[in-house]
Structure 1
Amino acid sequence: MGFDLTRRRFLIGSGVAATGLLTGCDALVENATVNDVLQKAESLTLGTQRLLMPHQPLAREYTEADMSPVFKANGTSQPDGEEYARLMESNFADWKLTVNGMVQRPLELSLADLKAMASRTQITRHDCVEGWSAIGKWTGVQLGLVLEKAGLAPGARFAVFHCADEYEKTLDGSGQYYESIDLVDAWHPQTILAYSMNGKDLEVAHGAPLRLRVERQLGYKHAKYVMRIELVDSFKGLWGGKGGFWEDRGYEWYAGI
């Protein structure tokens, strides 16, 4: 498609990228003018994709011959904390995914429970806001199947992913990593909760035991170390209220590519 409205191209086209305020995933965007441009970019990108792509088109999938020999581990490479360390020691045998919030049937699912559900394998390209890309093979359960199992309560609009990793406590007083997507992306067939990468169980550096793959968005949306999925009707009660750890610090909530 010749109508490319990626986040990076919009920023470059508007001259914002040249300021150096968004040089990587650890940058904080505090300038009011830049924030205003980012918000306009977000609404333009989201609105355009929803308008031009109403039938859930798939992100491009590749062959095993296309897979990258090295796939960088973005963000945290291992969460701190005693709880995660304990889970690692047991090879995540005691880990459970909690699904709660605005659902009819709150769930606690083990890794074995998730692996017993119908799986999807896809070879896709991961695009990081830092400017690098890599192609990898992911296997997991479609998020929509998990949400169907829980049943949505009326009014639910967003799926929020609460993660095990923490960053330095800044701005909002909390370093807990979280991310969110709307229900359109939640039910996209390529949006999966991945427990395998390149034919093996996820390594810790890549988000073990479970990470989100939302293939039509940039890498910072692909939350690692997922511990809980909460269904909500708004972000107002969540830390900075923008729908994600980096979004609370100036990044776009919608990072479509």
Structure 2
Amino acid sequence: MMNIAVIDDEQHCTDRLLALLEPYKDKIETICFDTVDGAIKGIETLHPNIVFLDVQLHDKTGFDVLSSISNRNFCLIFTTAYEQYAIEAFKFSAIDYLLKPIAKDDFENAIRKAFERVEQNQLNERINVLFSHLYKEPTIKRISIPTKEGYNFLNITDIVRCEADVNYTHIFTIDSIKHTVSKPLKHFEGLLSNHKFFRIHNSHLINLNHVKSYAKSGYVTLLDNTKLEISIRRKEEFIKVCNRI
């Protein structure tokens, strides 16, 4: 029997999750909390396998829950009514989230992944990545890269470039390691464009801090001596961006 905790301060949202969980009632037990203090005590005492955690809980947040518990040995799924609130941070940390009102298809996809991987690998470290993107302290920002074994955690400043390979992306770091991820390059362009990354070609996203030189013939050389062509339609914008650095 699997224990599931639903943490939400709005009863209609809790009811929605309970209704979506109804088809699984033979293999789960569900307990609900509507305050931060109750959720903290409940998680520490009951050790749930899966936690649905609302972002906003009265005058506090779900992040207050996470920062106050020692037991993080569960699968975490955030729920939020705010489409932009913390979404980027969730993506950087590879922590699942559902937008309210929760659609059945989105829920089914999330719960399927949760059942397949009841204990989310390296959750503590991914929560640290999440917090690093939520708060404005001058910490080194990182990104969680899923692997077959779990996750790799990369400093964004250490990423030299990303290269498209159909629905996969190869990420090259300063230690000359190639990390392959089953997400398209567009996903990483969306995440990294505010961190001085620029897409010079359909196949290449580069870290502008790792640019060594640019040739008017339309090629850029990176600090690791990789030479890449800049597409004609992106050349003008690339020059403008470089002049602003």
Q: Same fold (TM over 0.5)?
A: no
TM-score scaled by length of structure 1: 0.22
Structure possessing the higher relative contact order (Cα contacts under 8 Å, 6 or more residues apart): 1
Instruction: Point out the structure with the larger helix share.
Output: 2
Larger Rg: 2
TM-score scaled by length of structure 2: 0.23
